[in-house]
């Protein structure tokens, strides 16, 4: 009761005893400290929220910047590859007389390395894939559908893609490695100093040789997979395959042959340009050659899949 009276007197401005005044000052200090701590906590929380929002904004900015930089790098790469393709095609059209025999010899060597030496890989894969697909689909598909399925999958889709994959693994990687070593060791500059255009002896023969080789390999793959697969299925099983070849002849059309030819053309040109470009972009040293080779092979594969989808959408959708 006395403390309450003293508190009222202090609030009214009157004097009071010293103990009561001290207790009142302690109460005021505790209240002030609580308010101060509450304000400090609010400030800390607000600063934390501001820091988190700032970090999120920085993360978004870094992500957008990364996407923008990668887009710029890819667009510049595609522009460089397009310009490089234009130079090669212009050199093919011009076809200067100087060094024509040398170019023909290099083209023949490239065809031998890309096509002839790859037959021992292409033919077994074609036989295995053709026989497996014919055996699988002959059990679930009707006789009149087996020819259409074989043409659509084996001849039009799997044949060009698997052949292109073999060429990428064998020839495209070899071209990237060869070009990269020549660039690092200064051999391309040495050719230019001697008055020899690298387009004539390096780039043009590679494109012609790989494109012609792809035409030949895709044709061999399709014929071997159909005929060899049919022969293996007929010899090992008792499935009714009497009218299989006639169904294939009825199912295949001029559009299918056109699509396969276009795939061989675009695959050959694209694989050559991409593998050469990745080899020529090496600047620092020999240690960049394996990295450029793997990236070039992946880029060639993605390019072939994209071209395959675009041609399918253009002709069959």
Where a domain ends, among 71, 97, 114?
71
Residue 232 binned pLDDT confidence (cut-offs 50, 70, 90): confident
Residue 2 has pLDDT above 50, yes or no: no
Q: Which residue has the higher pLDDT, 144 or 2?
A: 144
Asked whether residue 119 falls in the same domain as residue 46, the answer is no
Asked whether residue 237 falls in the same domain as residue 298, the answer is yes
Asked whether residue 178 falls in the same domain as residue 209, the answer is yes
Asked whether residue 146 falls in the same domain as residue 271, the answer is yes
Quick check: is 285 in a domain?
Answer: yes
Least confident of 118-122, 224-228, 303-307: 224-228
In three-state form (DSSP H/G/I as H, E/B as E, the rest C), the secondary structure along the chain is CHHHHHHHHHHCCCCCCHHHHHHHHHHHHHHHHHHHHHHHHHHHHHHHHHHHHHHHHHHHHHHHHHHHHHHHHHHHHHHHHHHHHHHHHHHHHHCCCCCHHHHHHHHHHHHHHHCHHHHHHHHHHHHHHHHHHHHHHHHHCCHHHHHHHHHHHHHHHHHHHHHHHHHHHHHHHHHHHHHHHHHHCCHHHHHHHCCCCHHHHHHHHHHHHHHHHHHHHHHHHHHHHHHHHHHHHHHHCCCCCCCHHHHHHHHCCHHHHHHHHHHHHHHHHHHHHHHHHHHHCCCCCCCHHHHHHHHHHHHHHHHHHHHHHHHHHHHHC
Asked whether residue 117 falls in the same domain as residue 256, the answer is yes
Where a domain ends, among 14, 40, 71?
71
Summarize pLDDT for 115-158 with one digit per residue, the tens: 999 999 999 999 988 888 887 777 665 555 777 888 888 888 88
Residue 5 binned pLDDT confidence (cut-offs 50, 70, 90): very low
User: CA-to-CA distance for 179 and 185, rounded, in angstroms?
Assistant: 10
Quick check: is 303 in a domain?
Answer: yes
pLDDT at 15: 47
The structural domain count of the chain equals: 2
Least confident of 34-43, 92-101, 249-258: 34-43
Asked whether residue 144 falls in the same domain as residue 59, the answer is no
Question: Which of 89, 85, 114 is CA-nearest to residue 280?
Answer: 85
Residue 29 has pLDDT above 50, yes or no: yes
Asked whether residue 43 falls in the same domain as residue 105, the answer is no
Q: Which residue has the higher pLDDT, 26 or 136?
A: 136
Summarize pLDDT for 61-111 with one digit per residue, the tens: 677 777 788 888 888 888 888 999 999 999 888 877 777 888 889 999 999
Where a domain ends, among 71, 99, 119?
71
Quick check: is 76 in a domain?
Answer: no
Asked whether residue 18 falls in the same domain as residue 99, the answer is no
Full residue range of the structural domain in which residue 308 is found: 81-316
Residue 23 has pLDDT above 70, yes or no: no
Asked whether residue 113 falls in the same domain as residue 256, the answer is yes
Residue 265 has pLDDT above 90, yes or no: yes
pLDDT at 45: 44
Quick check: is 290 in a domain?
Answer: yes
Quick check: is 180 in a domain?
Answer: yes
Average pLDDT across the chain, whole number: 80
User: Are the C-beta atoms of 252 and 304 separated by less than 8 Å?
Assistant: no
Asked whether residue 228 falls in the same domain as residue 259, the answer is yes
Quick check: is 105 in a domain?
Answer: yes
Asked whether residue 46 falls in the same domain as residue 169, the answer is no
Asked whether residue 49 falls in the same domain as residue 93, the answer is no
User: CA-to-CA distance for 179 and 161, rounded, in angstroms?
Assistant: 25
Quick check: is 216 in a domain?
Answer: yes
Quick check: is 64 in a domain?
Answer: yes
pLDDT at 47: 55
């Amino acid at each position: 009761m006395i403390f309450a009276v003293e508190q009222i007197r202090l609030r009214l401005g009157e004097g009071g005893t010293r103990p009561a005044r001290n207790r009142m000052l302690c109460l005021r200090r505790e209240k002030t400290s609580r308010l101060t701590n509450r304000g400090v906590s609010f400030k800390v929380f607000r600063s934390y929220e501001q820091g988190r929002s700032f970090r999120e904004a920085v993360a978004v900015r870094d992500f957008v910047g990364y996407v923008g930089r990668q887009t710029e790098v890819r667009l510049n790469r595609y522009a460089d590859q397009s310009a490089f393709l234009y130079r090669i095609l212009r050199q093919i059209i011009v076809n200067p007389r100087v060094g024509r025999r040398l170019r023909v010899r290099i083209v023949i060597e490239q065809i031998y390395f890309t096509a002839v030496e790859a037959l021992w890989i292409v033919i077994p894969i074609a036989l295995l894939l053709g026989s497996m697909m014919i055996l699988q689909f002959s059990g679930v598909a009707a006789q009149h559908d087996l020819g259409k399925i074989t043409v659509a999958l084996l001849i039009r889709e799997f044949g060009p893609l698997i052949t292109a994959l073999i060429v990428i693994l064998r020839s495209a990687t070899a071209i990237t490695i060869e070009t990269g070593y020549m660039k690092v060791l200064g051999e391309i500059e040495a050719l230019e100093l001697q008055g020899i255009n690298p387009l004539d002896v390096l780039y043009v023969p590679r494109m012609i040789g790989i494109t012609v080789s792809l035409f030949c390999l895709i044709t061999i793959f399709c014929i071997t997979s159909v005929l060899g697969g049919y022969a293996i299925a007929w010899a090992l099983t008792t499935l009714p395959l009497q009218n299989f070849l006639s169904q294939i002849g009825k199912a295949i059309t001029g559009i299918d042959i056109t699509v396969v030819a276009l795939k061989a053309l675009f695959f050959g040109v694209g694989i050559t340009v991409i593998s050469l470009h990745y080899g020529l972009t090496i600047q620092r040293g020999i240690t960049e050659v394996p990295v450029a080779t793997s990236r070039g092979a992946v880029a060639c594969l993605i390019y072939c899949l994209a071209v395959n989808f675009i041609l399918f959408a253009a002709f069959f959708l």
